[in-house]
Amino acid sequence: MTAPSTLQDLRNAIVGLDAINIGHFVRVSLETGDKPMEILNALNNGMKEIGDKYESKEYFLTDLIMAGETMKRALEVLKPHLAEDVTRRKGKVILGTIQGDLHDIGKEIVKTLLLSSQLEVHDIGIDVPPRRFVEKAMEVNADVIGISALLSVTVPTTAKVVEELRKEGIREKVKVIIGGAACRPYHVEKYGVDAAVNDAIEGIRIIQKWCSKNEL
């Protein structure tokens, strides 16, 4: 096992899906004097390249899952070295799988990618009732609610999250995105959400845009 000599090598380790060695590589980078934010940027650049490869069909869903695990292991080593508020600067996101759906693979991928984007993420699990999304959003003053819905029969339930936001008078303050194999663009109008995607990378980019200073 050869340690990376540059931040570019660290980026290549992410792109190469080297989940086994990535933690070691991050430690070596820290020991050789690379700043935590420089390492984070290198990792993020690697994830962006993976996103490009996924969109061009060079990488597939299994690669995206492995990329998420690789990034997760890198962040486990890096996070203690970052300033306490670094991952909470750009916005707060609630993630959960809607009631009636027990899938979490897609949610886990999105969570890891959002964390690497310096967003504060609150994962409230699977089979989550609509009211729970709103309660958590109110508790942490969230900017975005991300709802995973892989089953077509559960997608209509996402409309109840929007209804609950309206009841609390905070619909205009919180963006809602639904994602999963069953989600389609026309669901935006049908269920009152702000975005509907069936591609994790597209969903990440939408949330990142929402959470930029110009969008909030």
What pLDDT is attached to residue 213?
58
Evaluate if residue 3 carries a pLDDT over 60: no
Question: Is 30 part of a structural domain of the chain?
Answer: yes
What pLDDT is attached to residue 186?
96
What is the per-residue pLDDT across 84-102, written as a single tens digit (0 to 9) for each? Answer: 444 445 799 999 999 999 8
Do 92 and 65 have their domain in common?
A: no
Do 159 and 204 have their domain in common?
A: yes
Do 34 and 50 have their domain in common?
A: yes
What is the per-residue pLDDT across 19-70, written as a single tens digit (0 to 9) for each? Answer: 999 999 999 999 998 888 888 888 888 888 888 888 888 998 888 889 888 9
* Residues 213, 17: Cα–Cα separation, whole Å: 31
What's the first-to-final CA gap in the chain, in angstroms?
A: 44
Do 97 and 204 have their domain in common?
A: yes
What pLDDT is attached to residue 131?
98
Do 67 and 122 have their domain in common?
A: no
Structural domains counted in the chain: 2
Looking at 52, 81, 110, which one is the last position of a domain?
Answer: 81
- Mean pLDDT, rounded, for 91-118: 87
Do 114 and 57 have their domain in common?
A: no
Question: Is 144 part of a structural domain of the chain?
Answer: yes
Do 144 and 123 have their domain in common?
A: yes
What pLDDT is attached to residue 214?
46
What pLDDT is attached to residue 62?
87
Do 106 and 198 have their domain in common?
A: yes
Radius of gyration of the chain (CA): 18
Do 35 and 129 have their domain in common?
A: no
Full residue range of the structural domain in which residue 161 is found: 88-210
* Residues 119, 154: Cα–Cα separation, whole Å: 27
CATH number at residue 107: 3.40.50.280
What pLDDT is attached to residue 5?
57
**Torsion-angle region of 38 (φ positive above 0: left; ψ -120 to 50: alpha; else: beta):** alpha
Question: Is 216 part of a structural domain of the chain?
Answer: no
What is the per-residue pLDDT across 121-178, written as a single tens digit (0 to 9) for each? Answer: 999 999 999 999 999 999 999 999 999 998 899 999 999 999 999 999 999 999 999 9
Looking at 36, 51, 81, which one is the last position of a domain?
Answer: 81
pTM: 0.72
Looking at 81, 113, 141, which one is the last position of a domain?
Answer: 81
Question: Is 215 part of a structural domain of the chain?
Answer: no
Do 107 and 133 have their domain in common?
A: yes
What pLDDT is attached to residue 85?
42
Do 114 and 129 have their domain in common?
A: yes
**C-alpha closest to that of 73 among 139, 144, 10:** 10
Do 110 and 64 have their domain in common?
A: no
